[in-house]
Structure 1
Amino acid sequence: MLASYKKKIIAGAVYFHFGEKAIYKYGASDIQYQGFRPNNIVMWEAIKWYCRNGYQEFCFGKTNLEHKGLVRFKNGWGAAKHMIKYYKYDLKDNKFVKESSLVSGFHNKVFNKTPIPILKVFGNLFYKYMG
């Protein structure tokens, strides 16, 4: 699902669906257009599309509690919250892996200071391996 303004894409989201359930997975938007709330229109259009097409459940997906902005966004839609406890196990090292924060990690400090054109190059090169 995409939102555009004057023929420019300003926000988008990826949803998965299985059976009668739709799941919000990824979303992004151009920070210059945040005043238009493009993520809201993308989400609203997706919800309407899934309703029109017979889906019975819409899941807003997993969110790290440290990601306050995303938590606020999802809460604004009245999404029900459920605590999900899970563990990661490294078969190679034969031990459980301690979860690190993806929100406050060093990489985010670097990404926040990196110019957009450079981020686009990195994204085009590496996203297919990480998405």
Structure 2
Amino acid sequence: MRTSGTVLGSEESFRECSVYQWHRLDLRPNLDELYGSFHRDCIRRRIRHAERQSLRYEEGRSESLVRSFYALIVQTRSRQYLPPQPFEWFHNLVAHMGENVCLRVAFTQDRPVAGILTMNYGKTVYYKYGGSDAEFHHLGATPMLFWRTIQAAKASGRELLDFGRSDSENRGLIRFKERWGAQSVRLTLWRSPIHEGSPALERLKTRLAKAVCASVPFKMLVFAGRLMYRHVA
């Protein structure tokens, strides 16, 4: 069970299993106020830098855009020593959720360099997936894509951007979200019965899995993702 508080802390039948940081950005201020709240060097300067590059921006749900986005997901997951989600996952997500899903991808010439997938529900836009080509990180494409997302969210009357959860040990990802002015709450995963598994054992399993994936050929990681994703998602 996941909660954003410690309501189960006094329950003897539950044990704290994992802790995350959950970041959300209030979109109700106007665009100038939002932009001014971003970190000057790590966000605003990189947005301006990206806008000076010869980047091509596309958004939508076309088959070609899904394939470009998926290529970036595969690269990113490979850098993290993790099997990527199968292509069919994203294809079906777009097909069944329609206008509630948006892909945003930046290209240099015809090469995709960064992409994000967001979903809309009510007054909230949810950031769900992102990928990038490490060779082009210096272009600042990812901050530009988030800024485009915020602008579109404001135009459509959304009031909240949900950046999702981050493992408490992933300080780099947490800092990235904080630099957008996003506020965080503690998100706790509780487990019952308490004797099943342990946080230390789960962390060991993750490290071992990454060590194995680091030695697996690229194509085998993609195959593993197609085979395993429905069981571990």
**What is the TM-score when the length of structure 2 is the normalising length?**
0.46
Task: Give the secondary-structure state (helix, strand or coil) at the position aligned to 1:55.
Answer: coil
For residue 112 of structure 1, report the CA deviation from its aligned partner: 4.5
**Residue of 66, 79, 94 corresponding to 2:182:** 79
Rg larger in structure? 2
For residue 14 of structure 1, report the CA deviation from its aligned partner: 2.0
Task: Give the secondary-structure state (helix, strand or coil) at the position aligned to 1:15.
Answer: strand
Gaps of 5+ in 1: 90-94
**Residue of 205, 211, 224 corresponding to 1:109:** 211
Q: Taking structure 1 as reference, are residues 120 and 59 closer, same or farther at Cα in structure 2, changes over 3 Å only? A: same
Structure that is richer in helix per residue = 2
Query: Is 1:56 the equivalent of 2:159?
Result: yes
2:101 corresponding residue in structure 1: none
How many equivalent residue pairs?
125
Query: Is 1:40 the equivalent of 2:143?
Result: yes
Deviates more, 1:104-113 or 1:77-86: 104-113
2:5 corresponding residue in structure 1: none
Moved over 2 A (4+): 95-102, 104-131
Deviates more, 1:121-130 or 1:54-63: 121-130
Q: Taking structure 1 as reference, are residues 119 and 129 closer, same or farther at Cα in structure 2, changes over 3 Å only? A: same
d(CA) in 1 for partners of 2:128, 2:137: 20
d(CA) in 2 for partners of 1:30, 1:113: 20
2:21 corresponding residue in structure 1: none
d(CA) in 1 for partners of 2:117, 2:203: 22
Overall identity of the aligned pairs, in %: 25
Computed over aligned residues only, the root mean square deviation of the Cα atoms, in angstroms, reads 2.6
Gaps of 5+ in 2: 1-103
1:19-46 CA distance string (max 9 Å, x none): 1011212211111111112221221111
For residue 88 of structure 1, report the CA deviation from its aligned partner: 4.0
1:10 corresponding residue in structure 2: 113
Deviates more, 1:110-119 or 1:68-77: 110-119
